Amino acid sequence: MDERVDVEAESGRAVLGRTLRFLREKEGKSLGQLADESGYDKSYLSRLESGERLSKVTVMEDLDGYYGSGDLLVSLWKVARIDAFKDKYKEFMRLETTARIMDKYTPNVPGLLQTEEFAREVLSKAQTTDQDTEAVEEQVAARLGRQLLLRKTPAPSVRFVIDELALRRPSASSETWEGQLLHVEAVAQWPNVVIQVLPFTAGIHEHMGKGSLTLLWQKDGSAVAYAEGNSGGLLMDDPADVLHHRLSYDRLRDLALSPSDSLTFIRDVLEEYRS
């Protein structure tokens, strides 16, 4: 009987895993041979093929090179990484990948600006058992992969308003924290990114205790607002709601330091930490 796979019912990771297995078998390689020739652990490769794990994008780049498959695996990985996030975030993430303009406020270091080491420390805080380790690594890989949208072509125009608190609460590792501050400083100088610090001296503001806010504009002019707090996230596309949150964001932006003063502020915080 002809067996057909319902691709629409498969997760992105399942499709990626099936493709990995197909390419390996097409080359006539066993998992052991692939492990020896690629340098990756056999059990790790097996879990990638079964869809149990999500790798870093660099692994897919290596395997694309190994199989001579162009950017096939990387393309499938970009879809698969969405599976590492809960369903309620998927529509927001889909819109984020196609947005031409992004305005973001966060009381913490934004996920799009986190280094791998800092992201791992943040995501590990919720770990309670050894079995959670793989889940943390999957979330780290997904978060790092999400950062690719800042460097795509054409690059989106992105503005971050970051609360001073995010720059004052260091990680447990001094090396990790210094690397994180250096990364924020570097990204602040990218041509498509603006970073503004909302200082303590700005006083009380309407988003205190409410979590983060993101505004996304698409090429066709449509826009959404996404508010996220401890209890979850809310995606809004009603024009009145978007306008309300845009005005709210504008007030935060006006309270924040200018981009140039913010860069100076970040460098001062870095020097204070080093001393």
Residue given tokens 């800092």 in the structure block: 118
Tokens at 15, concatenated: 């499709």
* DSSP labels, 37-55: HH-S-HHHHHHHHTTS---
Tell me what pLDDT residue 92 has. Answer: 87
3-state DSSP assignment of residue 163: strand
Domains for the chain: give ranges and CATH numbers. 9-82 (1.10.260.40), 86-111+148-274 (3.30.870.10)
Beta strands 157-163 and 101-106, pairing class: parallel
State the Cα–Cα distance between residues 245 and 50, nearest whole angstrom: 42
Q: Return the structure tokens found at 185.
A: 């400083």
Helix, strand or coil, per DSSP, at residue 221: coil
How many angstroms separate the most distant Cα atoms in the chain? 71
Q: What is the DSSP code (8-state) at residue 109?
A: -
Q: Is the CA virtual torsion 233, 235, 241, 245 positive or negative?
A: positive
pLDDT values of the chain reduced to their tens digit, one per residue, 275 residues:
333 344 445 788 899 999 999 999 999 999 999 999 999 999 999 989 998 888 889 999 999 999 999 999 999 998 888 766 665 677 888 899 999 999 999 999 999 999 999 999 999 876 555 556 778 888 899 899 999 999 999 999 999 999 999 999 999 999 999 999 999 999 999 999 999 999 999 999 988 888 899 999 999 999 999 998 876 788 998 899 999 999 999 999 999 999 999 999 999 999 999 98
Residue 43, φ and ψ in degrees, nearest 5: -65, -35
pLDDT score, position 4? 39
Strand (E) positions, the chain?
Answer: 101-106, 157-163, 193-198, 212-217, 223-229, 232-236
At 3 the pLDDT is: 38
Structure tokens that stand for 130 in this block: 């050894």
Secondary-structure percent of the chain, ordered helix, strand, coil, rounded to 5: 55, 15, 30
Q: What pLDDT sits at residue 12?
A: 86
pLDDT value, residue 187: 97
Structure token pair of residue 121: 């420390």
Instruction: Note whether 226 and 93 are within 8 A (CB).
Output: no
**Residues 6 or more apart whose Cβ sits within 8 Å of residue 103:** 158, 159, 161, 214, 215, 246, 249, 253
Phi, psi of 266 (to 5 degrees): -60, -45
Contact yes or no for 156/215 (Cβ under 8 A): no
Q: Please count the helices (runs of H) and the strands (runs of E) in the chain.
A: 12, 6
Predicted local confidence at residue 244, as pLDDT? 95
**How far is residue 211's CA from residue 207's CA, in Å, rounded to a whole number?**
7
pLDDT at 138: 86
